[in-house]
Amino acid sequence: MAKYIFVTGGVVSSLGKGVTASAIGALIKAGNYSVNMMKIDPYLNVDAGTMRPYEHGEVFVCDDGTETDLDLGNYERFLQITTTRDSAITTGRVYQRVIDAERRGEYLGQTVQVIPHITNEIKKRIKLFDKHNSDICIIELGGTVGDIESVPYTEAIRQFAIEEGSENVMFIHLTLVPLVTGGELKTKPSQHSVKTLMSEGILPDMLVCRSTETIPDELKEKLALFCNVRKKAVISLPDAKNSIYEIPLKLQQEKVLEIIEERLKLPLKKANLSKWQEIVKNIEESTDIVDIAFVGKYLQLSDAYKSVLEAFVHAGTQQKHKINLINIDPELLENNDPEVLENLKKAHGIFVPGGFGTRGVDGKITTLNYGRINKIPTFGICLGLQCMVIEYARNVLKIKADSVEFNPSAEHLVIEMLTNLKNIKDFGGTMRLGAYDSEFVADSKIATIYGTTKVSERHRHRFEVNPMYTDDLEKAGLIISGRGPSGLVESVEIQDHPWYLGVQYHPEFLSSPLKAHPLFNSFVEASIKNKNKI
């Protein structure tokens, strides 16, 4: 029977709850337990697919096509698990299920209420999500305690703990200990947040204190006293120095596994963290810098590209280089901003990520043209591939090419809507989503990089390369090196260029700190070669 750890957050959002919960998972796994993770998001959206990336961060896609919160990406990267539709719940989904059941008459005339019907549905989802019978399930509750929308969840997990028995459930509360003017660390916000948690019937078993500094012993004592936890279970978690992959090691130093084992009456095991030590060492030793131009439209908020940024960390670590991503604002490039042009010229590689909508597209196409002509290693993902095809059609085929997404009345729509999506009106969950196979041409660059001609990668797109133009594009020299099940273009490349490659899928979702994704790895390697040549 699984044991459960609930992770709640206090004081403010964006404390790194997902990363901390994942790192706790990694530490437990290093103690030779099997671990699974689940995310609860209290918002009303049915899933994250319709949410703005610059507000909510990237939409992470599971193998099964679920569009979900970026924290599931952290779970996969830290634990090497494959998350599914059951690994995340939102208030939208819970209510949708309960209301559907009510319409089917399943409640036999009862008054349907938040307690017990919504709370029962939440408990059922938690109980049923782990199909692997893992030793430990970690459930992260999104948001901050005290939020109105998280109340049904705190109530449900309070009931859950009673039903499962105290030896089988523990609560970890992540809080902020801020440093104020005068250099003093303050405990009051944590005291208040624990008070709120306790007023909802939950006593934390462990307090993980996020801070810019290490929490000294006397402050731990104070926090323990006021927050009703043992001193030993007040954990200091200052900001990581170089990367988030240091966190399992920091938690180990604070004896987090031991406290969990004691609390959940598990045998005391020794965690083997050698692989995390190696990753951290490699990151520390990666001091040479390679500059990569990052041509995306969400510049300020990096969470919009979370998995891509992590994939670059993984590839950089494997290549023993620190990757300096230079933000290239495609809109400024459209206006020939001299500083942006200068930055682009400095770059040893060019990366165009996925995206939606017209804004910045012309700048992306200009950058791709620059990379192609000047033989700079260039990597395009999803929208990046589509822009590569438009650029090639415009400048080599010499046709007025565009995508139906940007300019439906263009003369040559080289990027068209996927045929089976043409009559769909709903936005939620209707794209081509999740894992599909791609087959590569045997001697293509992409097949050489992967070392195989068949891969499964995750997708999230509504448009594709128009099959009516593939012959002309190929005759003009664009190599269609990979195709999906029905002939759909999955990858393109060109000859006589050190590294120019676009993929319709999202390789970033499968990159891991233990093994960088081959495409990111090879692209970074090519950029380093380019740097050393210059």
DSSP state of 117: I
Query: Would you say 216 or 357 has its CB closer to ligand GLN?
Result: 357
Phi and psi at residue 237, to the nearest 5°: -130, 80
Is 506 designated active site?
yes
The Cα–Cα gap between 54 and 483 comes to 31
In the complex, what is the shortest distance from the CB of residue 315 to ligand GLN, in angstroms, rounded to a whole number? 20
- Where does this chain touch ligand GLN (CB under 6 A) — which range of 118-126, 350-358, 370-378, 491-499? 350-358
User: Judged by CB under 6 A, does residue 508 bind ligand GLN?
Assistant: no
Query: Would you say 42 or 502 has its CB closer to ligand GLN?
Result: 502
Contact pick of 89, 139, 382, 480 for ligand GLN (by CB under 6 A): 382
The interface with ligand GLN within residues 403-462 (CB under 6 A) comprises 405, 460-462
Query: Would you say 322 or 462 has its CB closer to ligand GLN?
Result: 462
**Which helix (H) or strand (E) covers residue 158, if one does?**
helix 151-164
Contact pick of 53, 152, 355, 507 for ligand GLN (by CB under 6 A): 355
Contact pick of 356, 396, 399, 476 for ligand GLN (by CB under 6 A): 356
Query: Would you say 13 or 358 has its CB closer to ligand GLN?
Result: 358
How do the residues of the chain divide into helix, strand and coil, expressed in percent and rounded to 5?
45, 20, 35
- Where does this chain touch ligand GLN (CB under 6 A) — which range of 84-92, 299-307, 308-316, 354-362? 354-362
Query: Distance from CA of residue 250 to its chain's centroid?
Result: 22
Residue with tokens 């031991």: 258
Is 382 designated active site?
yes
Q: Which of 56, 459, 497, 506 is catalytic?
A: 506
Is 411 designated active site?
no
In sequence order, which residues have a C-beta less than 8 Å from that of residue 148 and are 6 or more positions away? Answer: none
Query: Would you say 43 or 356 has its CB closer to ligand GLN?
Result: 356
In the complex, what is the shortest distance from the CB of residue 431 to ligand GLN, in angstroms, rounded to a whole number? 6
Q: Give the bridge partners for 465, in sequence order.
A: 415
Query: Per-residue contact track with ligand GLN, 458 to 497, x per CB under 6 A?
Result: --xxxx----------------------------------
DSSP state of 143: S
In terms of Cβ atoms closer than 10 Å to its own Cβ (0-12, 13-18, 19+), residue 188 is exposed
In the complex, what is the shortest distance from the CB of residue 7 to ligand GLN, in angstroms, rounded to a whole number? 30
Q: Which of 155, 391, 508, 525 is catalytic?
A: 508
Query: Would you say 130 or 457 has its CB closer to ligand GLN?
Result: 457
Please report, as a single letter, which amino acid is at residue 202. Answer: I
Q: Compute how many other C-beta atoms are within 10 angstroms of the C-beta atom of residue 100.
A: 10
**44, 118, 520 from 121: Cα distances, Å:** 15, 5, 41
Q: Compute how many other C-beta atoms are within 10 angstroms of the C-beta atom of residue 4.
A: 21
Query: Would you say 118 or 435 has its CB closer to ligand GLN?
Result: 435
Q: Within 13 Å of residue 218, how many CA atoms lie on the same side as its CB?
A: 3
In the complex, what is the shortest distance from the CB of residue 75 to ligand GLN, in angstroms, rounded to a whole number? 21
Given a contact cutoff of 8 angstroms between Cβ atoms, the answer to whether 137 and 130 are in contact is yes
Q: Which residue has the CB atom at the shortest distance from ligand GLN?
A: 354
Residue with tokens 């992967």: 450
User: Judged by CB under 6 A, does residue 354 bind ligand GLN?
Assistant: yes
Reduced to 3 states, what is the DSSP secondary structure of residue 194? Answer: helix
In terms of Cβ atoms closer than 10 Å to its own Cβ (0-12, 13-18, 19+), residue 11 is buried
- Where does this chain touch ligand GLN (CB under 6 A) — which range of 194-202, 338-346, 353-361, 515-523? 353-361
In terms of Cβ atoms closer than 10 Å to its own Cβ (0-12, 13-18, 19+), residue 280 is buried
Given a contact cutoff of 8 angstroms between Cβ atoms, the answer to whether 145 and 17 are in contact is no
In the complex, what is the shortest distance from the CB of residue 428 to ligand GLN, in angstroms, rounded to a whole number? 14
In the complex, what is the shortest distance from the CB of residue 371 to ligand GLN, in angstroms, rounded to a whole number? 18
In the complex, what is the shortest distance from the CB of residue 482 to ligand GLN, in angstroms, rounded to a whole number? 16
Interface ranges with ligand GLN (CB under 6 A): 354-356, 382-383, 405, 460-463
Active centre residues (catalytic): 382, 506, 508
